[in-house]
Amino acid sequence: MIRLRKLARAASVLTTPLAPEDILALFDPVFSARQLRGVVTKVVPETADSATIHFRPGRGWKAHKAGQWARIGVELDGVRHWRSYSLSAPAGEDPAITVSDMGAVSGVLVRNTRPGDVLFLAPPQGDFVLPEHPRPLLMLTAGSGITPVMSMVRTLVPHRPDADVVLIHSARRPEDSIFREELSELADQFPNFRVTHWYTGERGRMDFGTAAGLDALCPDWRRRAAYACGPEGFLDDAEALWAAEAAAHPKDPKSTRADGATGPFAADPVNLIIERFNTSLLGGVGHDGGLVTFEASDREVEADGDTPLLDVGEDAGVLMPSGCRMGICHSCLLPLRAGQVRDLRTGEVHGEPGQLIQTCVSAAAGPVNLDI
């Protein structure tokens, strides 16, 4: 690696102002001096509106842990857009994302991606990963929330005879249920893996209102470490159930916390690990925006009080750093030079000169000057 870097440095004498990677990119598009890329190797349709995209990443990618997500850059009409997608391939294998057509970017990915296409990438990240030590697991997923969990199941179930995994997956109809066949095969093959499908088209929404519903599907759920991934409402319900159970049975000596800690616990909320795909931003009602100045880029734009500064900057042609676009990864931090911003999640207005703000969840609250 170090030798490669030295070699690249030496070669750059001949390629300046370009980097050697810029020349190598003529032969293999994963090379880039600035931007991690991957080349699509295979596209597998999953359901009518979802597909798994396998890709070969360039240098700079790091192997993903089961359950992690990566930012993927796609071009729509020549303009690059970034979104986050969970990796569905098992840890240790070449990465793949499974995408459901839910918007402009995912639609293009599902329908128009072909082998040989170039994807722009950021290395995988995320804490929604398997526990370090073996323990019984309960996976609660809904819709495309199965994606990160699929990576976990594929990583764990075939390779760990001591695994004990229960998956409860909710989808509208059998034909909408991603990975349905593979999950059935795994369940047939491995007795330590049990799958329950819940079709909302037949049975309505899964009821987390009381413990009884979950008791019927997985009687020993309280002693399992639970992973949940799905739409907002689904996760909120799960959180509420775990919290209610913990409050109702504060000291249950028979239950053991799944991280191995001894003590009386019951359905402890720390046992519920949640992956949220989007953060609901507060809709703006009567909030004033302001003049946003991108100082070093020399751009000024009048912005309203509801548009994230990240979008404002991108629309103005500023090369904004960006990440998850939901306020969690802090890739989009920019120093505020002057002015105040409103956090679109909480409505809080804040800002001091020099403060780093998350442009993806902050809107202008009056004039704002950003150091970019």
Partner 1 sequence: MTAISDRTDATTKTATDKPVTKPRPGALAASGRPAVRPPAAAHLSDEQVAELGRELDAIKDEILAKRGASDAAYIRRVIKIQRGLEIAGRAALLMGRNKAAWVTGTSLLSLAKILENMEIGHNILHGQWDWMRDPDIHSTTWEWDFVTPARSWQHTHNDLHHRWTNVVGKDNDVGYNLLRMDEDQPWTPRALGNPLYNAILAPIFEWGIAVYDLEIVDYKEGKKSKEAMVRDLKALGVKALKQFTKDYAATPAVAMLTGSGKQALYGTLTANAVRNVWAHAVIFCGHFPEGTDTFTEEMVEGETRGDWYVRQMIGSANISGSKFMHIMTGNLSHQIEHHLFPDLPSNRYGEVAPKVQEICRRYGLPYTTGPLLKQVGSSWAKVFKLALPGKKA
With binding defined as CB under 8 A, does residue 307 bind partner 1? no
With binding defined as CB under 8 A, does residue 298 bind partner 1? yes
Nearer to partner 1, 148 or 308 (CB): 308
Stretch that binds partner 1, among 53-61, 75-83, 137-145, 152-160 (CB under 8 A): 75-83
Stretch that binds partner 1, among 71-79, 162-170, 202-210, 323-331 (CB under 8 A): 71-79
Decide if 94 contacts 41 (C-beta within 8 A). yes
What is the four-CA torsion angle of 327, 332, 337, 338, rounded to 10 degrees?
A: -30
Q: Which of 227, 207, 212, 213 is nearest to 128 (CA)?
A: 227
With binding defined as CB under 8 A, does residue 319 bind partner 1? yes
Q: What part of residues 95-154 is at the interface with partner 1 (CB under 8 A)? A: none
Tell me how far, at minimum, the Cβ of 102 lies from partner 1, in Å: 22
Q: What part of residues 3-22 is at the interface with partner 1 (CB under 8 A)? A: 13-18, 22
Q: Rounded distance, CA 135 to CA 122, Å?
A: 31
Q: Rounded distance, CA 360 to CA 272, Å?
A: 27
Decide if 335 contacts 326 (C-beta within 8 A). no
Nearer to partner 1, 27 or 253 (CB): 27
Nearer to partner 1, 155 or 359 (CB): 359
With binding defined as CB under 8 A, does residue 299 bind partner 1? yes
Q: What residues pair up with 303 in beta bridges, in sequence order?
A: 290
Q: Rounded distance, CA 332 to CA 330, Å?
A: 5
With binding defined as CB under 8 A, does residue 295 bind partner 1? yes
Place of tokens 């293999």: 28
Q: Rounded distance, CA 333 to CA 93, Å?
A: 32
Q: Rounded distance, CA 335 to CA 329, Å?
A: 16
Nearer to partner 1, 123 or 269 (CB): 123
Task: Please work out the total of residues on this chain that contact partner 1, with binding judged by CB under 8 A.
Answer: 35
Q: What part of residues 327-346 is at the interface with partner 1 (CB under 8 A)? A: none
Tell me how far, at minimum, the Cβ of 289 lies from partner 1, in Å: 12
Backbone angles phi, psi at 265, to 5 degrees: -135, 150
Could you tell me how many helices (H) and strands (E) the chain has, helices first? 9, 17
Helical axes 180-189 vs 146-156, angle rounded to 10°: 30
Nearer to partner 1, 80 or 205 (CB): 80
The tokens for 176 are 């909408």
With binding defined as CB under 8 A, does residue 93 bind partner 1? no
Taking CB under 8 A as the criterion, the residue among 189, 296, 346, 353 binding partner 1 is 296
Amino acid at position 280, single letter: S
Taking CB under 8 A as the criterion, the residue among 131, 233, 317, 347 binding partner 1 is 317
The tokens for 100 are 């459901």
With binding defined as CB under 8 A, does residue 315 bind partner 1? yes
Taking CB under 8 A as the criterion, the residue among 59, 80, 159, 205 binding partner 1 is 80
Backbone angles phi, psi at 286, to 5 degrees: 70, 20
With binding defined as CB under 8 A, does residue 314 bind partner 1? yes
Stretch that binds partner 1, among 40-48, 64-72, 79-87, 125-133 (CB under 8 A): 79-87
Q: Rounded distance, CA 363 to CA 350, Å?
A: 11
The tokens for 245 are 């159970």
Decide if 318 contacts 372 (C-beta within 8 A). yes
Nearer to partner 1, 25 or 138 (CB): 25
The tokens for 219 are 């009687």
Nearer to partner 1, 318 or 363 (CB): 318
Stretch that binds partner 1, among 33-41, 162-170, 204-212, 258-266 (CB under 8 A): 33-41
Nearer to partner 1, 48 or 296 (CB): 296
Stretch that binds partner 1, among 73-81, 122-130, 191-199, 350-358 (CB under 8 A): 73-81
Amino acid at position 342, single letter: R
Non-local (6+) Cβ contacts of 126 within 8 A are 67, 68, 69, 148, 275
Nearer to partner 1, 2 or 13 (CB): 13
The residues binding partner 1 (CB under 8 A) are 13-18, 22-23, 26, 32-35, 75, 77-81, 291, 293, 295-302, 314-319
